[in-house]
Structures are given as C-alpha cells and as structure tokens.
Amino acid sequence: MKGYKIANKRIIESLKNDKRFDGRGCFDFRDIKVEVGISKNAEGSVSVKMGKTEVLVGVKMGVGTPYTDHEAEGTLMTAVELLPLSYSEYDYGAPKIEAIEPARIIDRGIRESGFIDFKGLCIKEKEKVWNIFLDVDVINDDGNVIDAGALGGVIALLTAKFPEYDEETNTINYGHFTNKKLPLAPDKMPLTMTFRKLAGAIFIDPNKEEELSAESRLTIEVSKPEKEEVINAMQKGGEQTFTLEEIELILKESKKLFKNLSSVVAEGIKKAGKQ
C-alpha cells in the first residue's frame, strides 16, 4: 500500500505539469501497433497493442433465428474475457463486472452508431439471420482495455469476410471464406476514447498505475459522418464528477484523437489488403 501511495503522488505531480511517467502529454496515446489476420479460422481477427496492453479481437459468425421484435435483422453479441495471465487480480470463471462493463461499452458504441447494417444480415425474414460474435481476449492488461478492445473490434469488423454458407443444408463451411464483406457504413465508424480524471487533471490512455489511481472516467464513442462529429454513446465510471468545462475539453480533444485513431484503422485495413 505504501508503494501505491508513492506512485499515486508521483502520478498527480506529473499530471499537474501536463506530463506522464513515460513522457507523454495528457492527451497522447501510447504507441499503437495493429496486426490483422492473426487467426486462420476467424472471419475477422486482429491484435492491438497500446503500449504494454495487448488484446486479441475475433469476429465469428453463425446463422440463427432472429429476435421476434427484429425479424429482418441480424444480431451482434460482444464479450470481453479478462484472462488471469493478463493481470494478477483476474480469475477464471463467470464474467465479473470488470469484463461485463467493457463489453457493454464496446457493444453500445458499435450498435448506436449505425456502423452495422443489421438488415443486411438477414437471410430470410422471420427465419434466418447472420449472428456476429465479437470476442475480445485480454492478453496483457496494462490499462485502457476499453479503448484497445473497441479499436480492435472496429478493425476486425472492417476486415471480416462472410464464411461459405449452404442455405439448403443450413451449414457453414468454417475456415473457408467468400469475398463478401460485412454490411457496414464506414462513414459511421465509431471510435472510442476513455478519459480519466485525477486531482482535477484530465488524461487519456492510462497505464495500469494511472488507471488504478484515477478517480473517474468518461468513455466517449464518436463517429464523424462528413464534417460533423456525432456522439454515439457515453459512459461514466468512478465517484468524481466532470464539470461542464471538463466535458467541453474532452469533446475538443476527442476531435483531434478521432483523426489519429482513424489513421490507425486505415493502416490496419491497408495491411489486411496486402494479405
């Protein structure tokens, strides 16, 4: 506990000077590295590293019966798995809030943006639709799993291809892919940024020590159709509040960060095209 208090004090002192332990400014992401096509069996797959944080994201697809209130639409199900090897506090077993909340945040940003055309996933109304399963496995948690997982999810969806499907026999030939892409609206692509607050300072992309020290967080998921930024979803966590001025600062910085993250997505798609 003594070591934690010392680290917390150093973090606060650094943030007051608009600096971090690793020399970054408050609104700088760590180095982001993306590798696509890491699984030969998944319809879409990507590895995302933000500093020492690493996640593997996969898209799997299945055919099922549509929900009765959306009989001509496919579905999306998002899951985050916090593997014990990624952080000492995680255990095997049923998902806990630490995994459930990131999954819901990632899912909400994709769903509310209109990024996926769910009607384009319909095979036969009221009978058969495509189901998309988006799985995020955390290999190493050194902070900011939400943003890393959300970024990986967008790239995995953009690079995914439908598997071969025989409608007469209702069978999927997994591991064999068509050239058909998912029905997506690239102009509505949602990008996720989670801002943290500590001792009055606002910052992005924390390492684990910074994340544990933070008093509050605000995740903002935005798209940028044409010239106007659109907020798809927001999620607050932690006990401290955000002032109106702080919210305005977050919105201002999110526009700059959107451009940076868009470049990362574009590079990931470019890599996928070369495979």
- Write out pLDDT tens, residues 197-242: 998 999 999 999 999 999 999 999 999 866 678 899 999 999 899 9
Taking each helix axis from N to C end, the angle separating 97-113 and 145-159, rounded to the nearest 10 degrees, works out to 50
DSSP 116: B
* pLDDT at residue number 224: 84
Contact in structure between 100 and 107 (CB atoms under 8 Å): no
pTM of the model: 0.93
Residue 175's H or E segment, with its range, is: strand 171-181
150 within domain boundaries? yes
10 within domain boundaries? no
Q: Please identify every stretch of the chain with a pLDDT value under 50, giving residue numbers as ranges.
A: 1-6
79 within domain boundaries? yes
* pLDDT at residue number 4: 41
Q: Strands 75-82 and 128-140: what pairing?
A: parallel
248 within domain boundaries? yes
- Domain carrying residue 141: 24-273
155 within domain boundaries? yes
Structural domains of the chain, count: 1
The CATH number for 46's domain is 3.30.230.70
Strand order in the sheet with 230-238: 201-204, 191-198, 216-223, 230-238
Contact in structure between 76 and 65 (CB atoms under 8 Å): no
Residue 131's closest CA among 155, 162, 158, 105? Answer: 162
CA within 13 Å, CB half, 138: 32
Contact in structure between 117 and 132 (CB atoms under 8 Å): no
Contact in structure between 48 and 33 (CB atoms under 8 Å): yes
8 within domain boundaries? no
Q: Please compute Rg for the chain using Cα positions.
A: 19
* pLDDT at residue number 1: 35
* pLDDT at residue number 225: 66
Contacts of residue 229, defined as CB under 8 A and 6 or more positions apart, other chains included, come to: 222, 223, 251, 254, 255, 258
Cα distances (Å, whole numbers) of residue 23 to 26, 28, 142:
10, 10, 17
* pLDDT at residue number 91: 78
* pLDDT at residue number 7: 57
* b/e per residue 32-51 (b: at least 16 CB within 10 A): bebebbebeebbbbbbbbbb
- State how far the Cα of 155 lies from the Cα of 271, in Å rounded to an integer: 11
- State how far the Cα of 139 lies from the Cα of 134, in Å rounded to an integer: 16
217 within domain boundaries? yes
CA within 13 Å, CB half, 167: 7
